[in-house]
Structure 1
Amino acid sequence: MFHNWSELLPTLQKAFGALGRSNPKMVKAYMALGEAASENNVLDAKTRELIAIAVAVTTRCDGCIAAHTDAAIKAGANREEVSAALATAISLNAGAAYIYSLRTLEAYDTLKAPA
């Protein structure tokens, strides 16, 4: 098992609260981002959470994975829907690695060229 996800989420929530007490303006601004993203109600909560899971995977954030998976479950997402979001993340991340590989080769060629 990679993490004890049942323990990770409450640990993160507790730590999040501790940071919030020491920097309430930052936490308020952070929370406002999520509120702003859902303000127009074009996407339902389940869809937003499935997108968040895919982003969490591509950014490799275990805390985000725990929080957004929990929120997706609460929003009614089933395992098949989460798996579909993960497939999208995998396909995108592989594509991103390919594009950044091309950028790296371009950097190499540019930096290797005689001045």
Structure 2
Amino acid sequence: MSEGKDYQEFLKHAKENTSRLQKQTKAVGADYFKMHTDAMKDGALSQKEKELMALSIAISTRCEGCIVSHLAEAKASGASVQEVVETVNIAIMMSGGPAIVYGGIALEAAEQYYGADLK
């Protein structure tokens, strides 16, 4: 298990900040979060597949909060740790060096969420 940052605590804090932001931005925040909720529902693609896609994009765009959030939701949607690893591989293929750094963050967080040893 990772000995670095506590990603579950990080996500809890990020969600608190997001809640504060949503209250202050009123309709803009509410509209964004409705779009997010609607986009992530099962459709032609399952929520799990969408969360893994979002995780790959989060790695590629270097958004640590997004990485942790979509990792947690991917796990909750039934994604295996191996599916997460393969998602990281796709981010690396598409984004190169920066995805290696942020993919490492995703795997470190996955160790905590899945209780896996990915070393």
TM range (shorter): 0.7 to 0.9
4+ aligned runs moved over 6 Å, structure 1: none
TM-score, normalised via structure 1 length: 0.75
Name structure 1 gaps, 5 residues minimum: 96-115
TM-score w.r.t. the length of structure 2 is 0.73
The counterpart of 1:59, out of the listed 58, 61, 67, is 61
79, 91, 94: which one aligns with 1:92? 94
How far apart, CA to CA, are the structure 2 residues paired with 1:38 and 1:7? 23
In structure 1, the residue matched to 2:85 is 83
Question: What's the CA shift string for 1:50-96, capped at 9, x where partnerless?
Answer: 0010000000001001110000010010110001111000000029x
Larger Rg: 1
Relative distance call for 1:80 and 1:39 in structure 2 (3 A) is: closer
Separation (CA, whole Å) in 2 of partners of 1:38 and 1:63: 17
Distance 1:75 1:16 in 2: 21
Identity rate, percent: 27
Counterpart position of 1:26: 28
Aligned length, in residue pairs: 95
User: How far is 1:3 from its partner?
Assistant: 2.6
- Unmatched runs of 5 consecutive residues or more in structure 2: 98-119
Greater relative contact order: 1 or 2 (C-alpha under 8 angstroms, separation 6 or more)? Answer: 2
Change (3 A) 1:57 1:32: same
RMSD: 1.8
For residues 36 and 23 of structure 2, the distance between their equivalents in structure 1, rounded to whole angstroms, comes to: 19
